[in-house]
Structure 1
Amino acid sequence: MYSHADIAGWASVAVLAVLIITSDLRSRRVPNWLVAVGLVLSIVLVKFGPVMALAYDWRDVWLGGAIALAGFLPLYALGWMGAGDVKFFTVAGLVAGWHGLVAIWLVSSVLAGVHAMAILLLRRVDASAPSAWMLMRVCPALARWDPGHAGRRGIPYAAYMAIGLLSLPWLPDVMRVPWLPGM
């Protein structure tokens, strides 16, 4: 069954994820203070005991962060990814460990792909049409919530990575790279 560390750990991860999701969907930004909270959370989770489906030792934490940063930093350098997305993927690597990165990346990429397809479909539909208006109400991430950031476009990838992080306990083991050493 679940230990107190599992419950407290996942509650903390859920709060962080909801804050990231809200911020990224609303303004397409990931504040640095949330990244710092995630860094501290990853240290606390490992220090006070392993939490189910998350990083279980220091090597797992640091490998997860290093692999995530090394994998996404070139995408930022090429202009294909925002800095907040890179920072949050690094935090997700620190929290989930290196074995959870593939699952987080797969879930977030599928969600981002669905988002991109919805944007492409909306461009074909007149924005004043009832069907487009309904789609924007059903999926507010497609709309611009924050008028101050109305010019910021793009897919809120950090929000989708946070959803991927939250989905780890329910994903099949094959998505958590069990065939690699250290699992």
Structure 2
Amino acid sequence: MASVFLVWLLFIIVYDCRQRRAPNWLVLAGAAAALGALAFGMQPFETDWTSALLGGGAGFGFLLLFYAFGLMGAGDVKFAGALGLWVGLSALLPIWIGASLMAGAHSVLWLALKRWPFFPRLALMLTGPSQTPESGASIRRLRIIPYAAYLALATAAWMVWGRQS
């Protein structure tokens, strides 16, 4: 079941980096797989129902505050909730710290490249897809940081290094 989890993380990373969004169908598929793994006793991280549900609630609830202030997209919030179902409550703090450090580095690099455009292609990659509205569409808020992707990367790192203690 760990391979299913890793494939799900990979899909989130690719989709969020390319589109700057985590689609509902992908988040729901991950949450359903997590609940299925719990129900059939195939949870790869030895997380019980209590820890998984607390992790899902904490992941969703904490990041919901950032969404409420317009600092984060809804897909990132929903992904954090689904991620909490997989890893449980105890793993969320190190994963959040790792993801936030990566997102902070992304922001600093983007701001530096925006101010001093030595590598314009890298600055465009960090910005994400073009945010120009199509005809008749409203202007959407610029989403620069693929936070769900950074959560997924931090989770993969946690799987390798964080669980060995």
Report the TM-score when normalising by structure 2: 0.84
* 2: CA distance, partners of 1:17 / 1:26: 14
Distance 1:78 1:14 in 2: 31
Structure 1 gaps, min length 5: 1-8, 179-183
Corresponding residue to 1:154 among 125, 135, 144? 144
Give the distance between the partners of 1:32 and 1:167, measured in 2 at CA. 24
Residues in 1 aligned to 2:156 and 2:26: alpha-carbon distance in whole angstroms:
16
| Secondary structure in 2 matching 1:167 | helix
Q: Who is 2:119 aligned against?
A: 132
Instruction: Give the match for residue 36 of structure 1.
Output: 28
CA distance in 2, matches of 1:72, 1:34: 18
Rounded to whole Å, the distance in 1 between the matches of 2:148 and 2:123 is 20
Q: Judging changes above 3 Å, is the alpha-carbon distance between structure 1 residues 56 and 153 closer, same or farther for their aligned structure 2 residues?
A: closer
- Residues 118-164 of structure 1 deviation map (CA, whole Å, 9 limit, x = unaligned): 101101223xxxx4146459xx4x143x44x4564321101100111
Pick aligned residue for 2:96 from 96, 105, 108: 105
State the Cα deviation string for residues 48-106 of structure 1 (Å, max 9, x = none): 33545x35211111010111122111211111111011000111111111111012101
1:77 aligned residue (60, 65, 68):
68
Q: Are the equivalent residues in 2 in contact too, given 1:50–1:56 (CA < 8 A)?
A: no
* TM-align CA RMSD: 2.2
Alpha-carbon contact 2:127-2:144 (below 8 Å) kept = no
The code of the aligned residue for 2:119 comes to A
Structure 2 unmatched runs, 5+: 133-139
- Pairwise CA distance, 1:116: 0.5
User: Contact 2:113–2:120 (CA<8 Å) still a contact in 1?
Assistant: no
The answer for the alignment partner of 1:181 in structure 2 is: none
Residue 25 of structure 1 aligns with which residue?
Answer: 17
CA distance in 2 between counterparts of 1:48 and 1:104 reads 25
Distance 1:164 1:106, change over 3 A: same
With the length of structure 1 as denominator, give the TM-score of the two structures. Answer: 0.76
Correspondence for 2:136: none
Once superposed, which parts of structure 1, at least 4 consecutive aligned residues long, lie more than 6 Å away?
none
Are 2:75 and 2:148, in contact at CA under 8 Å, matched by a contact in 1? yes
